[in-house]
């Protein structure tokens, strides 16, 4: 399906008369990211899952500027329009969580409630953003040098050694997750990192202050960096913070049951 400069690869699951939820995956994820969570949520909702630009089978038909957060957000709103979904729930993980927050703050009329898993409003200062751009550029160079699948595997192994991921490598389905990540194109991932990375995106901290949409902030107990970030976000009255046990950055993978239980409780709770 083509929307302006995109050909989104997406899937609708369930019955259209159920409350709709849009799920947004993280960096190096794809349309299958939330499969286990959706199975547990069962037939209670109507699910829209999509490969974000630079990931999976979605194609960016325009220039590199169409990988940016602002353009991606507008394209997703256009997709919701074409699918005749005027308003929905929204769940975003990590990079998808940053995008979900951008959507919430720029298109608040389109979302009932929003779940942000291991997400942030970006970096507050220009100096921090420039430093992060430098780091992401170096990571992108490593990605584009992964000519063989074995090189990409090594890259992923190093990526999941980061402290925010806790003990994810001990998970019995870790290799299955890696196999899913390997389906991505490293050169496309590089573009996503460069144009929708934390350094490139505008800071959302100031706009967050006037938000009116209820937010559920989920962070894993081993993810100290994002516990700190989300504790700051939780100071706003519209935000509720939940620290999930037995999980690092990737909560929906490591503790799917707790992830689903918190989503159901939040979405069904009275506003």
Six-digit token string for 101: 């927050």
What percent of the chain has a predicted confidence (pLDDT) above 70?
99
Range 181-185, long-range pairs (CB < 8 A, 24+ positions): 181/28, 181/29, 181/156, 182/149, 182/152, 182/153, 182/156, 183/30, 183/56, 184/28, 184/30, 184/54, 184/55, 184/56
Domains and CATH numbers, the chain: 2-268 (3.40.50.1820)
Neighbours of 150 (CB within 10 A): 10
Instruction: Please tell me the total number of residues recorded for the chain in this structure.
Output: 271
Task: Give the separation between CA 162 and CA 223, rounded to whole angstroms.
Answer: 10
- pLDDT for residue 270: 58
The beta strands (E) that lie in the chain are given as 2-3, 6-7, 10-13, 20-24, 46-50, 59-60, 88-93, 111-117, 215-220, 239-244
- pLDDT for residue 1: 45
Q: Is the pLDDT of residue 2 over 90?
A: no
DSSP 8-state class, residue 121: -
CA 8: distance to chain centroid? 16
pTM to 2 decimal places: 0.96
pLDDT digits (tens, 9 = 90+) for 10-20: 999 999 999 99
Q: Is the pLDDT of residue 271 over 80?
A: no
């Amino acid at each position: 399906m083509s929307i302006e400069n995109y050909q989104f690869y997406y899937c609708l699951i369930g019955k259209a008369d159920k409350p709709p939820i849009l799920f947004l995956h993280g960096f190096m994820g794809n349309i299958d990211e939330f499969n286990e969570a959706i199975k547990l949520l069962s037939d209670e909702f109507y699910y829209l899952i999509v490969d974000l630009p630079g990931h999976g089978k979605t194609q960016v038909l325009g220039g590199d500027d169409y990988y940016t957060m602002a353009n991606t957000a507008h394209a997703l709103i256009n997709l919701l329009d074409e699918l005749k979904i005027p308003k929905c729930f929204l769940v975003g993980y990590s990079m998808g969580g940053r995008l979900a927050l951008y959507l919430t703050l720029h298109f608040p009329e389109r979302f009932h409630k929003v779940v942000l898993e291991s997400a942030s409003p970006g970096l507050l200062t220009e100096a921090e953003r420039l430093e992060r751009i430098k780091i992401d550029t170096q990571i992108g160079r490593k990605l584009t040098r992964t000519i063989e699948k074995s090189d990409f595997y090594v890259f992923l192994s190093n990526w999941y050694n980061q402290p925010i991921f806790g003990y994810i490598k001990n998970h019995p389905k870790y290799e299955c997750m890696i196999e899913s990540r390997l389906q991505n194109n490293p050169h496309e991932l590089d573009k996503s990192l460069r144009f929708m990375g934390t350094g490139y995106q505008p800071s959302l901290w100031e706009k967050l202050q006037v938000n009116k949409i209820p937010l559920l902030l989920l962070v894993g107990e081993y993810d100290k960096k994002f516990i700190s970030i989300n504790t700051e976000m939780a100071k706003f009255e519209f935000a509720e913070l939940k620290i999930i046990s037995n999980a690092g950055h990737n909560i929906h993978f490591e503790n799917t049951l707790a992830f689903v239980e918190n989503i159901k409780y939040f979405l069904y709770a009275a506003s």
